[in-house]
Copies of this chain bind each other. A is one copy, B any other.
Amino acid sequence: MASSSSLHLSKALLAQAISHHGFNSSSDRVSLSSVSLPSFSGLKSQSPTSSSKAASSVSGSRRRAGSSTVRATAVETLDKTTEVSLVEKSINTIRFLAIDAVEKANSGHPGLPMGCAPMGHILYDEVMKYNPKNYKWFNRDRFVLSAGHGCMLQYALLHLAGYDSVQEDDLKNFRQWGSRTPGHPENFETTGVEVTTGPLGQGIANAVGLALAERHLAARFNKPDNEIVDHYTYVILGDGCQMEGISNEVASLAGHWGLGKLIAFYDDNHISIDGDTEIAFTESVDKRFEGLGWHVIWVKNGNTGYDDIRAAIKEAKAVKDKPTLIKVTTTIGYGSPNKANSYSVHGSALGAKEVDATRKNLGWPYEPFHVPEDVKKHWSRHIAEGAALEAEWNAKFAEYEKKYKEEAAELKSIITGELPAGWEKALPTYTPESPADATRNLSQANLNALVKVLPGLLGGSADLASSNMTLLKSFGDFQKDTPEERNVRFGVREHGMGAIANGIALHSPGLIPYTATFFVFTDYMRAAIRISALSEARVIYVMTHDSIGLGEDGPTHQPIEHLASFRAMPNLLMLRPADGNETAGAYKVAVLNRKRPSIIALSRQKLPQLAGTSIEGVEKGGYIISDNSTGNKPDIILIGTGSELEIAAKAADDLRGEGKAVRVVSLVSWELFDEQSDAYKESVFPAAVSARVSIEAGSTFGWQKIIGSKGKAIGIDRFGASAPAGKLYKEFGITKEAVIAAAKEIS
């Protein structure tokens, strides 16, 4: 069966569509050369979203009927000339690669790739700049599949485009152990995938971060004669992403910042796992996005309206001061006669029978995983074109380097991630005579010192800059009209902030985003922090007010379980510095850990500069700050972190006054300490010494690992309270006296 043969949509599908939506099928068809399918453009006309008059709608009448060569003249940037029949063959290739991979795995989500194949094809074949043989090429367009469950769409596109990461065998090993095609897109498994998506709503936030990075770098480095930074960020998001609060947070910011080179495709297919979105999602997305300051376009027929999609992209590119949302109404599982437009095609394999029926329906005579020769040939040009694009850019960069030596060096550092030599000398150091200070203030000193030597450092707070102490004094605000600046104002949007930071970090190896809020509000952004850890994004989380030490704001604001909860999270550094040297150490570690995010927990309250603390100590995670024992045999070991290290040190002084041999250990990062040699660990915590007391103003959960069965953990295993900090420490027993009593009890 040739792909050009005319087919009719099965009556079953039509009947289904009519009964669900009551549209008149006969008056609403579009005739195309290869397959005769209803356009579905009228399918959603009863929905509340479609009633918005505000969205500019790409008219369905622009669609061309009949077999003809479509030159997408409407789209300046799309100067490809491709037979419609070949376009459709390519689109069906994408659909069937997804269908076949999900079928073989008997697991996965075929519905989205089948519905979004047209926009996917147009993006990767006609619109995007990339070099398949160098996925790292700096000036590539970025693409994010925010609806990550549809990852087979992206794998199929990467495969067709010629990326080495997705070969035919990879497609055949979809969702299998050790494959490069996991169940959701993962940047650390599959080159060509920019960020890790799947948890809904975060992908659009990552895309905002990627677009922010581009805008910032373009503003900093572009010259009138050389626009060395210049790419778009494209993202596909679905109904699920739209429902998540994070997507509204970041869309509000993207509108505020006027990120004109961010183009989002909203796959408006009206189906989510629980069925029709009518049951929980009847808002007008168009109107909301207009309120958020976006340009909104509606492509009514995303299934076959290729020129509409092209025209929408052209329009989006022409709007330079606003991000664009292209609402593309599609049919989930398009082409499946019995399952299209239903939740059953969302997240399960079609099943052999329906795969057959879909092959017949779309006129697809090929074996599973087959890419027709003409499609292969058509896509093969991207390897040469991509190489040429990069070569052209490299030449441009060479020009740039010649003319703008200093800027080029900075940009290079951002592109490669190579840190400027001697950067760590900028870190401030302290002596016990240095004035007492809150570690949040010491953190600010570090940020302001580091920003002078790290060209990729930028960030900000979720509306707590003056409490988190995160302002970079030598820079202004990153805003629509001042995108070259480095203080990012996130507003009260913690989750969006974290996921935007992930996008920034994964844009270029040398970008080092930091974000800030009260430590307790990591609860709002935990999902993004987990993605930082999973996707190896070096984000620095500056988390102040890290205990009951914040005082009067009370239990809603006082972290208790947070240290434990992050110590349990893989691939994340949880750092809790005690003073100036340790804060500097925490920053050193955070910057050096290229593939790991760090949370730095900082105090609101003043803390003294302690004797014995050091940057080097922090790098080991745990170390001795004072000791009057000999032969590695202290009578007792006192262990503290952050603001409680001072209490441990004072308790040790008293105990030593009574003749005890006392060691004080700062356990600033459990993860780093875990990575030390057994010999080093034994030198800090000799197995023979079981008398150990820990003190930390937080949950004692997990401390048994450090103090052993005989040790005592002083902490807080209930919620805090509203009162001055000193009172709280006393009432909750986080005191020198408690440490001394515990020490005496067990030693």
Binding site for B on A (CB under 8 A): 48, 52, 105, 107-108, 148-149, 175-179, 182-184, 186, 196-201, 239-241, 243-249, 252-253, 255-256, 272-274, 277, 279-288, 290-293, 343, 461, 463-467, 477, 479, 489-496, 520-521, 523-524, 526-527, 530-531, 533-534, 551-557, 560-561, 564-565, 567-571, 699, 701-702, 704-705, 708-709, 717-719, 721-724, 727-728, 731
Contact = CB atoms under 8 A, between A and B. Distances in A.
A244 B699 contact: no
Given A176-B727, A197-B556, A252-B281, 7 more contacts: A272-B463, A272-B492, A277-B491, A279-B489, A279-B491, A287-B291, A523-B530
9 contacts: A197-B556, A239-B492, A253-B280, A273-B465, A280-B489, A288-B292, A568-B699, A701-B705, A708-B709
Nearest to A717: B570
A358 B178 CA distance: 69
Contact of A465 (B274, B531, B569): B274
A463 B183 contact: no
A248 B719 CA distance: 28
B701 A704 contact: no
A496 B564 CA distance: 25
Contact of A702 (B285, B530, B552, B568): B568
A105 B274 contact: no
Contacts of A279: 477, 479, 489, 491
B280 A291 contact: no
Given A198-B553, A280-B491, A245 B243 contact: no
B570 A568 contact: no
Contacts of A253: 280
A709 to B, nearest CB: 5
Contact of A709 (B463, B479, B709): B709
A343 B500 CA distance: 26
A407 to B, nearest CB: 27
Contact of A280 (B175, B197, B490, B570): B490
A252 B243 contact: yes
A274 B521 CA distance: 17
A556 B533 CA distance: 11
Contact of A287 (B197, B274, B290, B553): B290
Given A198-B553, A554-B182, A701 B568 contact: yes
A178 B727 CA distance: 11
Nearest to A728: B177
Contacts of A105: 552
A568 B557 contact: no
A166 to B, nearest CB: 14
Contacts of A569: 560-561, 565, 699
A613 to B, nearest CB: 26
Contacts of A284: 290-293
Nearest to A242: B492
Contact of A718 (B526, B553, B570): B570
Contacts of A495: 245, 524
A729 to B, nearest CB: 11
The 6 A-B pairs with the shortest beta carbon distances in the complex, nearest first, are A245-B245, A287-B291, A280-B491, A182-B722, A198-B556, A565-B565
A198 B176 CA distance: 45
Contacts of A565: 561, 564-565, 568-569
Contacts of A177: 721-724, 727-728, 731
Contacts of A717: 570
B523 A273 contact: no
Contacts of A241: 492
Nearest to A710: B709
A463 B243 contact: yes
Given A107-B552, A526-B523, A719 B247 contact: no
B286 A291 contact: yes
A247 B491 CA distance: 14
B107 A551 contact: yes
Interface centre among A105, A244, A253, A704 (most CB of B within 10 A): A244
Contact of A556 (B148, B280, B719, B727): B148
A19 to B, nearest CB: 19
Contacts of A273: 463-467
A515 B618 CA distance: 42
A280 B478 CA distance: 10
Interface centre among A199, A699, A731 (most CB of B within 10 A): A199
Contact of A722 (B175, B292, B343, B553): B175
Contact of A496 (B197, B245, B493, B568): B245
B175 A723 contact: yes
A637 to B, nearest CB: 15
A284 B292 CA distance: 6
Contacts of A704: 702, 704-705
A303 to B, nearest CB: 24
Contact of A198 (B287, B554, B731): B554
A526 B717 CA distance: 18
A666 to B, nearest CB: 20
Nearest to A277: B491
Contacts of A564: 564-565, 568, 701-702
Nearest to A490: B280
A287 B252 CA distance: 12
A701 B570 CA distance: 11
A571 B719 contact: yes
Contacts of A490: 280
